[in-house]
Chain A
Amino acid sequence: MTQAAQNAGMQVDQSDVTGEAKAGPDPHYNFAYLDEQTKRMIRRAILKGVAIPGYQVPFASREMPMPYGWGTGGVQVTASIIGPDDVLKVIDQGADDTTNAVSIRQFFVRTTDVETTTHTEEASIIQTRHRIPEQNLSEDQILVYQVPIPEPLRFLEPRESETRKMHALGEYGLMHVKLYEDIATHGHIATTYAYPVKVNGHYIMDPSPTPKFDNPKMHRMPALQLFGAGREKRIYAIPPHTAVYSLDFEDHPFEVQQWEQSCEICGAGDTFLDEVVTDDQGGRMFVCSDSDHCNRHQEAAE
């Protein structure tokens, strides 16, 4: 990583924190950090991904001013599609204020000077790790996922030559072998994250480490969904309104997680809840993982 790159990304930018970043993007960097040729290359990969929903398109992933595991794939996708008029929201596990989300947001403020928001409906681009916002997205929005391992067949078939053939020929029996094994071991389908889906009736896709709770939101979502895996150099996409089916068995149908209780902050009974530790006496409570949704729901209730 170059010194300039470190300056652009990882170091906390005081001007962002104090809201003084409205002087335009940092002139030391190209807009959104990547050079124009790289952006065009990534846009071509995105377009191919949109044309073949769920298909993993290889791309020449660039080194970004942050380590792999920090969402370099998602960052490159966002950097390639963002324009000066976009409004950006970045979440990690549903929250806008975690370290990963804050540093990615600062990176884009520094290199693009775009407006940012925590309000889901105000954002034109939402970059996410692990969650889909609770609020329904619209056709005017793009959801960018940070993906660690894009290949859903990897665990039973380590040979890439073979997995590529399986995708091309639609030979997806192995995915159900995995679910079979899940039921044999646990009595039910115990996969709760990265739950495999079939996109547009053909490609099987790994929806990144999002909880299966969010799978139904992917189905016929009005917003464009883009997935970037930096280390694995893959981009894939789900165009708006595309059918996304979660794999299952007739006698073990797909189900989302459910909680006995409601959110203890806003009272919502239909959201994905995180169990958080509240004190050092072992006190715990269940709260919405989507912090923006929780805040808004709370305000509305008051």
Chain B
Amino acid sequence: MSNHDQPLEQPLLRVTDLAKSYGGHAACREVSFDLWPGEILAVVGESGSGKTTLLKCISAQLACDDGRIEYLMRDGVMRDIHSLSEAERRFLMRTDWGFVHQNPREGLRMRVSAGANIAERMIAVGARNYGKIRGTAEDWMDQVELDPARVDHQPNTFSGGMQQRLQIARNLVTHPRLMFMDEPTGGLDVSVQARLLDLLRSLVTKMQLSAVLVTHDLAVARLLSHRIMVMQGGEVIETGLTDQVLDDPQHPYSQMLVSSILPV
């Protein structure tokens, strides 16, 4: 708040001492980090490390038990997302934020066309011209390498990789500043994964997106992220620049992860 007149020096997202437990078991504790504008942060760890719980808490899908999650609103003011009204939070989630689920079916409306899926967020921010909405939807399909001629097709006629690209387009159409991604390439064939990663990398660069990316796949983290945060048992055990951590891990657990001793 003190840096109000110098927004460039503020992080986009600041997480301080976040804690969340389920029935006495701590899923996350004492997690703190800053995410800077334009930065991609990868949160890596095995299943059970707390990375998915962390993602749900910071994206306001799950209430945390303790800690602060502050977000730099478009007006330059840092606000704790728990202090926002529900209406403000929901508006943020469908305009300034995006969420890419591992399973695209969770992030899409399967009963309406690809175009309607992309249209939803435009409509939510007030677009009321059918022709323009449709044109923008076609444009976004093109940007995520989907054939715009399929704008009226139902998502269940798309392959898994295409559904994932549609989910990304549906999120990006409102030009969010922050994306949350949960294993965005999980469940896809290796060749499909590679193409999707290339696409994601070019989109985040072009749109200067910030993102928190949760993955167990260190190759995905290496390709997409600037910084990496290694989690084990609900705690952050190592954090640093991606190449640094992956080339020269300091913590024994990180070393094991990098040398692929641990099964994923």
Contact = CB atoms under 8 A, between A and B. Distances in A.
Interface residues of A, number: 18
B128 A250 contact: yes
B87 A156 contact: no
A43 B130 CA distance: 42
B116 A177 contact: yes
B113 A184 contact: yes
Nearest to A188: B130
Interface stretch (B28-36, B53-61, B119-127): B119-127
Interface string B94-132: 000000000000000101110110011101100011110
A180 B90 CA distance: 22
If over half of B's interface residues share one DSSP class (helix, strand or loop), that class is named, otherwise mixed; here it is helix
B113 A251 contact: no
A160 interface: no
Contacts of A174: 120
B129 A156 contact: no
Interface residues of B, number: 22
Interface of A: 156, 165, 169, 171, 173-174, 176-178, 180-181, 183-185, 249-252
Interface of B: 86-87, 90, 109, 111-113, 115-116, 119-121, 123-124, 128-131, 133-134, 151-152
Given A180-B112, A180-B116, A183-B130, 10 more contacts: A156-B111, A165-B86, A169-B86, A177-B116, A177-B120, A177-B123, A181-B112, A184-B152, A249-B129, A251-B130
25 contacts: A169-B86, A169-B87, A173-B120, A173-B124, A176-B123, A177-B109, A177-B116, A177-B123, A178-B112, A180-B130, A180-B133, A180-B134, A181-B113, A181-B116, A184-B113, A184-B116, A184-B151, A184-B152, A185-B152, A249-B128, A249-B129, A249-B130, A250-B129, A251-B130, A252-B130
